[in-house]
């Protein structure tokens, strides 16, 4: 068996196995030869990059599974990836500067329950018609305080931007102080609603009240539109036992002064409140103040006045 290990004899045996088609069936020698073939094929495969032919396959079978060489043409060359276009840098957003209007009037006195909360001068304007964001200052007494929320909501719904200054028991001269304070802060808007007078009626005569009304209109000045709400009262010693003043005739004189002042102040308009009270039979529990229903009508009268007179 020493001659069997000779390399020449191994080659003859290999040829015999290939031609007989029985490669891998000879015990011992065939097995050894098949290992040599496999090893050589592996070396060739690793050197050429071809698929390795396993034992039990003919050369024809091996050729059938070998991939055909790829034909590379100029047109089949990989297209170079386009250079990505750099994304444009986002344009920085414009910086919105705050308006000159303060948010809250820090000089407003502490509220003891008689007044409105500290007035706000909104920096964000309302939207919608007919107000279109225009700012409105409302100055009033306890009746404005008690109808403030529904009034403000109605104004905003119509596109107005309201600021409300109100305090119980205040007279027309207090309204003049509010206008001067707003002017000093550069916050007096072009539209001012006045809802004052009933407390003057109970304390002063008609001539003094008129002088105070003139002082308020002069403080507001030209270039501003003024809407003044008519007064109404049923208080007398017959309707309210604690009253020492008969209000109805004084109310009539007050409203007459309002109408008369329009000749001297063309920027003055009157919101008709008396007709609203009578048409809707609004009750006053003390001859001056209203219930919830009456305050809803009062708030709506101011909104309607703005929409029809200014809008």
Better-predicted residue by pLDDT, 80 or 153: 153
Distance CA 104, CA 156 (A): 18
Better-predicted residue by pLDDT, 37 or 172: 172
Q: What does the buried/exposed string (b/e) look like for 143-176 if buried means 16 or more CB atoms within 10 Å of the residue's CB? A: bbbbbbebbbebbbebbbbbbbbbbbebbbebbb
pLDDT attached to residue 17 = 32
Which numeric CATH code is attached to 135-310?
3.40.50.1110
- Of the given ranges (17-26, 247-256, 274-283), which has the lowest mean pLDDT? 17-26
Q: Name the token pair of 167.
A: 């305090």
Mean per-residue pLDDT for 139-157? Answer: 98
pLDDT at residue 54 tops 60: no
Average pLDDT along the chain: 78
The CA distances from residue 270 to 142, 185, 251, in Å, are: 20, 27, 14
Distance CA 205, CA 273 (A): 22
Give the contacts of 181 (CB within 8 A, at least 6 positions apart). 105, 107
The CA distances from residue 58 to 37, 41, 43, 50, 133, in Å, are: 12, 13, 18, 16, 94
Distance CA 232, CA 284 (A): 10
Could you tell me the residue ranges of all domains in the chain? Answer: 2-64, 135-310
Tens digit of each residue's pLDDT (9 = 90 or more) over 212-241: 999 999 999 999 999 999 999 999 998 888
């Amino acid at each position: 068996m020493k001659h069997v290990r000779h390399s020449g004899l191994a080659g003859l045996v290999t040829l015999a196995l290939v031609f007989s088609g029985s490669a891998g069936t000879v015990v011992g020698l065939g097995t050894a030869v098949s290992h040599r073939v496999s090893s050589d094929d592996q070396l060739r495969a690793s050197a050429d990059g071809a698929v390795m032919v396993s034992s039990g396959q003919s050369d024809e079978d091996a050729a059938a599974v070998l991939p055909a060489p790829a034909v590379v043409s100029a047109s089949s060359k990989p297209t170079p990836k386009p250079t990505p276009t750099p994304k444009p840098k986002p344009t920085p957003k414009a910086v919105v500067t705050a308006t000159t209007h303060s948010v809250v009037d820090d000089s407003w006195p502490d509220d003891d329950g008689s007044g409105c909360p500290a007035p706000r001068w909104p920096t964000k304007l309302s939207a919608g018609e007919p107000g279109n964001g225009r700012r409105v200052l409302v100055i009033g007494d306890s009746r404005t305080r008690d109808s403030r929320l529904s009034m403000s909501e109605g104004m905003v719904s119509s596109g107005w931007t309201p600021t409300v200054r109100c305090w119980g028991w205040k007279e027309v001269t207090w309204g003049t102080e509010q206008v001067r304070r707003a002017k000093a802060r550069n916050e007096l808007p072009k539209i001012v609603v006045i809802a004052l007078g009933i407390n003057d009626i109970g304390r002063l005569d008609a001539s003094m009240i008129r002088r105070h009304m003139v002082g308020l209109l002069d403080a507001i000045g030209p270039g501003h539109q003024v809407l003044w709400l008519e007064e109404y009262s049923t208080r007398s010693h017959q309707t309210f036992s604690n009253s020492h003043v008969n209000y109805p005739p004084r109310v009539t004189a007050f409203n007459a002064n309002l109408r008369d002042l329009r000749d001297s102040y063309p920027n003055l308009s009157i919101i008709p409140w008396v007709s609203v009270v009578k048409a809707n039979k609004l009750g006053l529990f003390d001859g001056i103040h209203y219930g919830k229903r009456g305050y809803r009508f009062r708030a709506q009268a101011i909104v309607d006045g703005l929409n029809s007179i200014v809008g």
